[in-house]
Amino acid sequence: MKSFAVYIESFGCQMNKLDTALVASALQDAGFRLAVGVKEADVVLINTCSVRQHAEDRVLSHLGHLKHLKEHRPDLVVGVIGCMAQRLGEKLLEHGAVNIVCGPAQIPQIADLICQALAQNAKQVAVTEKIRQPVQPGDGSLDSFELEHSSRDGQIPGQAFVRVMRGCNYFCTYCVVPYVRGPEACRPPEAVLEQVKRLADEGIKQVTLLGQTVNSYKYRKGEQTYCLADLLDMAPRVAGIEWVRFVTSYPADEFYEEILQVMADSPKVCRYLHMPAQSGSDQILKAMNRHYTAAHYLELIEKARTVVPDIAVAGDFIVGFPGETEDDFQATVDLTRKVRYKNCFVFKYSPRPGTTADKHLADSIPDEVKQRRIVELLAVQEQISGELNQAFLGRQVMVLVEGPSKKAHVNPTGSDDHPQLVSRTSTDHIVVFNGPVSLAGRLTQVRITRTSPLTLFGESS
């Protein structure tokens, strides 16, 4: 029997990267081989993102190339999985390249869908018909899938993601996630811990607990309610686990102090908080349906730094949201300066079909204005990052090594047996230094000798 080769290309967030790794493991268990490129593949899967139009445009462009390829290779099977598959469903099957459409909740079915497409040369679709319908108790297919396939997740050596919840209930007016990932559904704490234990047995040193709004994690079992703080307390107790991270947090009070206290008390819970503000203008925050004001957000940041003085904070912003004035944008710049983020991710507003903003608000800000605001905000953040990073000069820091740097030319020193390695501190600062590749997946001490706004440079101790 022929062993078919599958090539998987992934777009989007850490959730998508995790899904891709799980699918890759499941397909290998089903007898498929993983191809290194499209040319060697019998099956091409594209794991998609719908958060911004640019991400979907890249997928459509890729499908155009695959359609041309299929003119010469008609037996090639192409599947679209993930958020874009859930959003567009059967419409994607109208594309000449597409054989399979599979939503995020249906990824446990992907091996069967591929087998059917290969055997019958028929189009296959598996998506959630009523995406906002609550997950039924006892429906553990995704939990079982994650437990079975997470140990070979193909992530950076020594690191792995563990999903603690799916979906979102916040309905920010610009965001498509609630419509493609469904309502919040929290995994049982015992399932999360079992997965962490299996990963530790495989040599994983750091786990990152994932959720669209991870600090909303809440699981009721009998009379007890578990929150993220409980998971952060239990996960580091697993033998072999050295660091535990969590992303991404929504600015909210519930369980916030409990989470910060666990971070302060446990040396294995990383002092890192990724908490998107999205805007510094109360008017825009209200239009976005974000349930806080700029002042409240600053109070949350102040509380974090009071409880965990050495915490590093990262943020997200959207510029050019409908109706954003220059005063609104300057409020965002002011918030950035007050918070002094370690780093920020800044995006142009992109209308997403089906969202409240797309239905009721005109995309009124010209693209050139959006771009100018991005450049200005990133310049402010670069200055702040540079100032904060200078404080590391001469310090010894513990890092978890990821492997050889893809940008070794930036600091071209060392030798073949000591190439430039990339690593991260517990506060998510990037550190590059020269050392043996055998350090990948391990913790080591590095002395910082030079800094830039984005990177710390060091020497192995």
Q: What is the pLDDT of residue 416?
A: 64
Confidence of residue 157 (pLDDT cuts 50, 70, 90): very high
**Per-residue pLDDT at 10 exceeds 50:** yes
Q: Is the pLDDT of residue 409 over 70?
A: no
Q: What single string gives the DSSP state of each residue in 262-279?
A: HHHH-TTB-SEEE---B-
What average pLDDT does range 408-418 have in this prediction? 60
Give per-residue pLDDT as tens, 62-99: 999 999 999 999 999 999 999 999 999 999 999 999 99
Of the chain, the percentage scoring pLDDT greater than 70 comes to 95
Strands 396-404 and 443-451: antiparallel
Per-residue model confidence (pLDDT) at position 461: 76
Sign, CA dihedral 277-281-285-290, equals: positive
Q: What architecture is domain 141-390? A: Alpha-Beta Horseshoe (3.80)
Q: Which comes out higher in pLDDT, residue 13 or 369?
A: 369
Say if domain 5-126 classifies as CATH 3.40.50.12160: yes
**Contacting residues for 35 by C-beta, under 8 A, at least 6 apart:** 5, 6, 7, 41, 42
Residue 415 pLDDT: 56
* Domain spans in the chain, listed from the N-terminal domain onward: 5-126, 141-390, 396-460
Which class for 204: exposed (0-12), middle (13-18), buried (19 or more C-beta within 10 A)?
A: buried
CB-CB neighbours of 67 under 10 Å: 14
Fold agreement between 5-126 and 141-390: no
The amino acid at residue 236 is: P
- The secondary element (H helix, E strand) that includes residue 54 is helix 53-72
**For 300-325, how does the pLDDT look when each residue is reduced to its tens digit (9 = 90+)?**
999 999 999 999 999 999 999 999 99
pLDDT beyond 60 at 256 = yes
Across the chain, mean pLDDT equals 93
- pTM, rounded to two decimals: 0.92
Q: How far apart are CA 81 and CA 100, in angstroms?
A: 8
78, 40 Cβ separation under 8 angstroms: no
Distance CA 20, CA 153 (A): 8
Q: Which two tokens stand for residue 342?
A: 């370690």
The pLDDT confidence band at residue 136, using thresholds 50, 70 and 90, is: low
Mean pLDDT of 228-254: 98
What are the structure tokens assigned to 426, written together? Answer: 């517990």
Give dist(CA 240, CA 337) in Å, integer. 39
pLDDT at 6: 97
Other Cβ atoms within 10 Å of 383 Cβ, number: 12
Q: Residue 411 — φ and ψ, nearest 5°?
A: -140, 65
Q: Report yes or no: 144 and 96 within 8 Å, Cβ to Cβ.
A: no
Q: How many residues does the chain have?
A: 461
Instruction: Return the pLDDT at 138.
Output: 45
Whole-angstrom Cα distance, residue 334 to residue 169? 29
Is pLDDT above 70 for 397? yes
Rounded mean pLDDT of 14-19? 88
Asked whether residue 15 carries a pLDDT value surpassing 80, the answer given is yes
Q: Which residue has the higher pLDDT, 301 or 132?
A: 301
Q: DSSP secondary-structure letter at 35?
A: P
Q: How far lies 55's CA from each of 11, 101, 184, 326, in Å?
A: 7, 17, 24, 27
Question: Given a cut of 90, is residue 131 above it in pLDDT?
Answer: no
pLDDT in tens, 326-346: 999 999 999 999 999 999 999
CB atoms within 10 A of CB 65: 11
Q: What is the DSSP string of 206-242?
A: EEEEE-TTGGG-EEEETTEEEEHHHHHHHGGGSTT--
**What digits encode the pLDDT tens for the residues 179-191?**
999 999 999 999 9
Confidence at residue 152, expressed as pLDDT on a 0 to 100 scale: 56
The Cα–Cα gap between 444 and 400 comes to: 7
pLDDT at 429 over 50: yes
- What are the respective helix, strand and coil percentages of the chain, to the nearest 5? 40, 25, 35
Confidence of residue 407 (pLDDT cuts 50, 70, 90): confident
Q: What is the pLDDT of residue 210?
A: 97
38 in Cβ contact with 66 (< 8 Å)? yes
Cis peptide before 425 (omega within 30 of 0): no
**Full DSSP string of 412-429:** --SBTTB-EEEEEETT--
Kindly tell me if the per-residue pLDDT of 31 is higher than 50.
Answer: yes
Give Cα 141 distance to the centre of its chain: 22
The whole-number pLDDT of residue 412 equals: 55
- DSSP character for 174? T
Does residue 242 or residue 141 have the better pLDDT? 242
